[in-house]
Every structure is written in structure tokens, then in C-alpha cells.
Amino acid sequence: EPEVTQTPSHQVTQMGQEVILRCVPISNHLYFYWYRQILGQKVEFLVSFYNNEISEKSEIFDDQFSVERPDGSNFTLKIRSTKLEDSAMYFCASSEGHSKDEQYFGPGTRLTVT
Amino acid sequence: QKEVEQNSGPLSVPEGAIASLNCTYSDRGSQSFFWYRQYSGKSPELIMFIYSNGDKEDGRFTAQLNKASQYVSLLIRDSQPSDSATYLCAVSPTDKLIFGTGTRLQVFP
């Protein structure tokens, strides 16, 4: 069964460094998303991406963040200058067609900022 | 005001019983409703979705939607210890999913 994959599974970085989190959505899906979950808190929406552009973003998704689909398979989240409070699980998700379709999540990347 | 509300639990049920999980939401324009299961340290796993008022059954799971009351529920019949997890209600008024904080379910033998 097709699934969303994410790399790395765990990333440790120092405050102020840039990180890139990578995702491979399900191949026939058209909508891509990033969410994050701080330990013990709820899953929060960051950004949605369709047709090579951002379709919606949350207040969390400020200038520090960017997304890109550099080729036909990868979808990346870049955090430019990491802060301690960026430590969280970051989940990529994708959906097939209509933006309100079911979203399938990848296994996540645990980001630890020290 | 919270957008999606769930009782955090834990909800403890004996093996074989019916577990009933509830969720309310505030955005009346929401069109799509989802239940995800999340085991500790893992990602959300989609288990049910519902778009229309009424009941939708899939195996041991039944989702119920009442848009007038802005209420979604999930019933798990014949609960098993492997069902022990946090159940996340999610609502989609636009592209994004808005999640509740989740209800922790414990099924004891």
C-alpha cells in the first residue's frame, strides 16, 4: 500500500542553524501538507501546497519557514534559523484530489533544537 | 474559543465493550470530518472519515455526524487492548485539518 515517507526520522541541530525536512508524498496525490506536534500538545497545521504554490498557511508559518517541491517526488520544509521552540515532531501529509479529501500522514521527523 | 474540543480522558473500557469518543467543533462551514488514531510516539493514522449527517460504519468502527449540533463521534465495538491509543478528531473547513487535543483510550483485559 502506498505511503508517505519522511527523512530523517530524527534531526538534532543547534539553535540558529538551518534544517531541511524531506517528504515523499503518495505518488498520485496532488495536495501536500506540513503539520507539527510539540510534545504533549495537539497536531497543528503549518502549510498546504498545491500546484507548486502555497494554498494556505498558519500563523506559525512565518518567514523562518519555507516549502518547496524541488522535483516530481520530494516535498521539503526548510526552517532557516531554528529556535528552541521549534523542537517538535514534524509530519508531512498528502491527499489525492480535492483539498478536503482524506489526508495520509508520514511517520514524522523528530526535530530537536539544542 | 477552541475550534475542536475533545475530552482528554483517559477513557477506560474493558475488552469487548463499546468505546464512545466524542468531539465538538465550532466552524459551521466545516465539510469534512476525520478520526485519526495515534499511538505514543507515532504519526496520526486515519481510521474513519465522514462527510454527511448520519452514521458511517467500517468494520468495528462507526462514525456519527450531526452538523446541526456540530458534533462528531466515534464508536468502537468489541474493543481490544490493541485499540489503546489517543484518538484525534479533525475537522476540515478549508485545506487544513484542525485537530482536537485527542482522547486517550485504555482498553483493559
Which of A21, A36, A42, A44 to probe the B interface (max B CBs under 10 A)?
Answer: A42
- Average the pLDDT over each of A69-73, B42-46, B64-68 and give the range with the smallest value: A69-73
CA separation for the pair B54, B50 (Å, rounded): 9
Cα B24 to Cα A5, A20, A86: the distances in Å are 31, 36, 29
Residue from A69, A77, A85, A83 nearest A108 by CA: A77
User: In sequence order, which residues have a C-beta less than 8 Å from that of residue B38 and are 6 or more positions away?
Assistant: B44, B45, B85, B86, B87, B88, B102
Which amino acid, one-letter code, is at A47? Answer: V
CA separation for the pair B102, B104 (Å, rounded): 6
Inter-chain CB proximity A44 and B99 less than 8 Å: yes
Q: Which residue of B has its CA nearest to A50?
A: B95
Mean pLDDT over B83-91 rounds to 98
Residue from A69, A58, A79, A71 nearest A16 by CA: A79
Other CB atoms within 10 A of residue A8 CB: 13
The pLDDT value recorded for residue B2 is 60
Could you report the per-residue pLDDT of B5-37, keeping only the tens digit for each?
Answer: 999 999 999 999 999 999 999 999 888 999 999
The pLDDT value recorded for residue A35 is 98
Show the cell assigned to B96: 487544513
Strands B98-99 and B85-92: antiparallel
Q: What is the DSSP letter of A81?
A: S
Distance from CA of B79 to the nearest CA of A (A): 24
Strand, coil or helix: A65: strand
- Nearest-CB residue to B31 (from A33, A100, A103): A100
Q: Which residue of A has its CA nearest to B96?
A: A45
Q: How confident is the model at residue B70 (pLDDT cuts 50, 70, 90)?
A: very high
The pLDDT value recorded for residue A107 is 98
Reading chain A (114 residues) residue by residue, the pLDDT tens digits are 789 999 999 999 999 999 999 999 999 899 999 999 999 999 999 999 999 999 999 999 999 999 999 888 899 999 999 999 999 999 999 999 766 789 999 999 999 999
Inter-chain CB proximity A99 and B44 less than 8 Å: no
Residue at grid coordinates 466545516 = B30
